[in-house]
Chains A and B, each alone.
Chain A
Amino acid sequence: MANGAVRAAQAMAYYSRRSMSMREHIRELWAARELLRALVRRDLRVRYRGSYFGFAISILVPIVQVAVLTVVFKRMTRFSSIENYSAHLFCGTLPWSFIYLTSVESCNCILKNRDIVKKVYFPREVLPLSVMLGNLIHLGFTMLLFLLYLFVVVRPPVLWTLVWLPVIFFFFAALALGLSFLFSVANTLLRDVEYLLSFAFTLGFFVTPILYPAGVVKQNLAEPYFTIYMLNPVAVAIEQTRFAILGAGDFPPPTSAQLAAGAATCVLALAAGYAVFRRLQWRLPELV
């Protein structure tokens, strides 16, 4: 590189078929952080301010959901014995909504931005990443409101296990990002993934311990099947959230084997989703 000095002085870009090294890639992603921030800001602004009641609605939806579920299930089933059933429900529905909304919104994040995907180069990871981050911020916000309500109005004992919440959500966010990577390219390739996904999530709602605690399943399911049931990383995250906030259930975050398994599943999902994304991202401008 004889003229290396001259080149270094300029912003040089050199590209060919060879794919970027991981280091170049991370540098590029870092350079795109302003774009990421702008996209997250856009999504949140539109969500909270799209209509006059945008903000109120985004807060009311989870509350109404829990209110209805509480009335129906507390009255009609034996879960009525569970102390503070609504709090149990919130621990389930808030993370569930996060993973559900992230997945569904990811399906269209590339199609929705086709104008810029076709015309401007930027690391495409930014799009699914912005969907996940926007929803994560929303989750943090609703979770905070829930905790405020819980500890100011209901006043259960405050547990030291609360410090595990960030760790639980860290892995949960990794899972959501993995799904976000996967579904963003999958639905761009095969446009009906979106519909199948809503169906899968409707079923998933019932096989995940949201309405009921996992302990009930444990009593009713023979052992190999219960372990399989708990392979669902969303189930693990929800049960751990319950333990961290309410001290309920059999899955204390730091010690149970499910934690390690759940965290490993989340990281694996992220790695797999990202691998698929990186393989197919070059075809995106042709496909949208």
Chain B
Amino acid sequence: MARASIPPAIVVRDLRKRFVVSRDRPESLKSAAVQLFRRRTHHSEAFWALDGVSFEVERGEVLGLIGPNGSGKSTLLGLLSRILRPTGGTVEVCGRVCTLLELGAGFHPELTGIENIYLNGVILGLSRSEVSERIESIVAFAELGDFIESPVRTYSSGMVTRLGFAVAVHVEPDILLIDEVLAVGDERFTRKCYAKMNEFRADPRRTLILVSHDLEAVGALCTRVMWLERGRIVELGEASDVLEHYLAKHGDGGGEHQAGAQ
């Protein structure tokens, strides 16, 4: 065992996640009461969303996750960010993890832009004083002018997007997880976001994991790519190699038509 001075950012060993989809799980007290008097039938199906996945991610790496719908990409992100509990196996994470939220998630429409920056920053794992340190920079990045003092319900969707991204990129986590939320807002803002991403990428302490169906973006941003299919790793390696093999199998459609609903 090489005892490196810097441990990997993420170590995943034999990670498994099983979901049980129960078709007749009662969704209300009423139906639960009705079911009590009926003969029990079990219409639950279990499937392995992840079935024995092992890998390591070094610090400073940008890892792309690709694969058709239902291949387990989002499940893997959920497990890395700790939202889901593994059915088996382990995840070791070194550093602060932050997920880029769907934009506007966690905002309260009645609160002002400033108040929402504090709220969202704390939700994403900053302390209040850390938000205070960054507040000027966040406000400048969001480019909302005087609207920053108005309730978010008065914002246009583009403004909400800008504010959400501004908070997320200022959290400066050690490990940033992104699930298909790029390419939002107008072109100028998108470019600004990519610039911020590149800045993040250039920092050797920071690790980025990106789930995307946009293979071009994956190719442009990632150093390594993991190809998942039916909960298993098909290939993990240099971005260009994996993308080439993936395209050879799935064509340009990126697997949209080959949805995972078996």
Contacts and interface: CB of A to CB of B under 8 A. Distances in A.
Residue picked from A2, A34, A122, most chain B C-beta under 10 Å: A34
A3 B3 contact: yes
B65 interface: no
A120 B7 CA distance: 24
Q: How large is the interface on A (under 10, 10 to 19, 20 to 34, 35 or more residues)?
A: 35 or more
Contacts of B88: 16-17
Given A11-B94, A16-B90, A34-B128, A285 B119 contact: no
B90 A116 contact: no
A282 interface: yes
Given A3-B7, A6-B7, A120-B83, A11 B95 contact: yes
B56 interface: no
A24 interface: no
B237 interface: no
A122 B93 contact: no
Interface stretch (A78-86, A190-198, A224-232): A190-198
Nearest to A116: B106
Interface residues of B, number: 46
Contacts of B119: 38-39, 42
Given A14-B91, A16-B89, A120-B101, A190 B27 contact: yes
Interface stretch (B107-115, B133-141, B226-234, B239-247): B107-115
A29 to B, nearest CB: 15
Interface string A1-45: 011001100111111110000000000000000110111001001
Contacts of A196: 29
Nearest to A3: B3
A50 B151 CA distance: 10
A119 interface: yes
Interface of B: 3, 5, 7, 19, 26-30, 32, 78, 81-97, 99, 101-102, 105-106, 108, 110-111, 115, 118-119, 122-125, 127-128, 174
Interface of A: 2-3, 6-7, 10-17, 34-35, 37-39, 42, 45-46, 49-50, 113, 115-122, 190-193, 196, 282, 285-286
